[in-house]
């Protein structure tokens, strides 16, 4: 699986969490998260047909941004195959200007905050 697919899993993991845990029905919200920075460290290869599991935490909460940490794992294996950091800046969907993180999102993010 190449790096583009890793990032697709990371993006999907974050967006599913936003929809299911943070009451942010992506993409139909007045506030959207723009990806402004990503990194990924690869430890092992993943590939079809092996099922993949993802773990998610929040690494940092700013005024208008959140940095997420996502680990990708081969199903049933505790060794992390890829670790990604993924930063969203939240903006008004129309003006594209940064906005303060909505309270419902901030509260949900604080529940999975793991600094360092």
Residue 75 half-sphere exposure toward CB, CA atoms < 13 A: 6
Q: Is residue 18, in this structure, part of any structural domain at all?
A: yes
| Residue 22: inside a domain | yes
Q: How many CB atoms lie within 10 A of CB 46?
A: 19
Confidence of residue 116 (pLDDT cuts 50, 70, 90): low
Taking 90 as the threshold, does the pLDDT of residue 55 lie above it? yes
Query: Is residue 38 in a domain?
Result: yes
Ramachandran bin of 89, using left for φ above 0, alpha for ψ from -120 to 50, beta for the remaining angles: beta
The per-residue pLDDT for 31 is 92
- The pair of structure tokens assigned to 47 is 């590939």
In a domain, 116, yes or no: no
Q: Over range 4-23, report the average pLDDT.
A: 92
Domain extent for 97:
3-111
What CATH number is attached to the domain comprising 57?
Answer: 3.10.129.10
> 7 near 40, Cβ under 8 Å?
yes
Q: What is the pTM of this model?
A: 0.91
């Amino acid at each position: 699986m190449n790096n583009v697919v890793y990032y697709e899993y990371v993006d999907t993991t974050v967006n599913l969490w936003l929809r299911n845990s943070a009451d942010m029905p992506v993409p139909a919200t007045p506030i959207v998260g723009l990806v402004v920075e990503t990194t990924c460290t690869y430890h092992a290869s993943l590939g079809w047909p092996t099922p993949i599991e993802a773990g998610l935490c929040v690494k940092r909460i700013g005024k208008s941004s959140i940095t997420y940490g996502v680990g990708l794992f081969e199903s049933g294996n505790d060794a992390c195959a890829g670790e990604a950091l993924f930063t969203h800046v939240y903006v008004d969907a129309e003006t594209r200007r940064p906005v303060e993180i909505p309270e419902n999102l901030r509260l949900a993010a604080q529940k999975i905050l793991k600094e360092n």
